[in-house]
Copies of this chain bind each other. A is one copy, B any other.
């Protein structure tokens, strides 16, 4: 059995290219760029939408980033090519290509916030069903090599006869550009729902409903 070593290369199983270093990997990584631009905040009292700390334009000239959660360990933001409204990503701040490159603590934190963010996006969109997906490696359709979970709301679309179309291979489905105005509105709402969920369950260990009541149609 090979010794356990930190996962530092994009291409697992291949030796690192001796002309590059792990820092080259992170310099090229779009998620590391987001991590470096957006500092952590207390998710129970997120910044106002007008705060420069979470300004979508911090990411200029790249695509705007709509931050939903930013802790010392993990960060979540809206996918810029969503498969559905509210499609979001959550990843560790530290660069790790695959799930097996995370630390036990990062893996636990991701598991915890998947649950919180699932509930928050359900409340913010009013959509009851959703998928959680995490792809490791090219054969698994991974595109950005900084490990991340997707949360993808699934509105009831079978009635519209579009089910099979939307459930094609993950990452190759019908994706559309995120509209900045809607991104901003969704991000404000999801940050507020995250705060409310964390406040409500502080101290207890209870299960949470995803979207029992939609407060406002967004």
Contacts and interface: CB of A to CB of B under 8 A. Distances in A.
Contact of A103 (B118, B207, B211): B207
Given A128-B137, A131-B135, A167-B168, 12 more contacts: A5-B209, A96-B207, A99-B115, A100-B118, A103-B206, A103-B207, A107-B111, A108-B111, A110-B111, A111-B114, A132-B135, A168-B169
Interface of A: 1-7, 12-13, 96, 98-105, 107-112, 114-115, 118-119, 122-123, 128-142, 149, 152, 154-158, 164, 167-170, 172, 196-197, 200-201, 205-213, 215
B108 A112 contact: yes
A2 B111 contact: no
Contact of A209 (B12, B123, B131, B135): B12
Contacts of A105: 205
B13 A212 contact: yes
B99 A132 contact: yes
Contacts of A196: 1
Given A111-B108, A129-B136, A170-B167, A209 B155 contact: no
Contacts of A138: 129
14 contacts: A1-B213, A2-B213, A7-B207, A12-B210, A12-B212, A98-B210, A104-B112, A104-B115, A109-B111, A129-B137, A129-B139, A132-B132, A139-B158, A140-B154
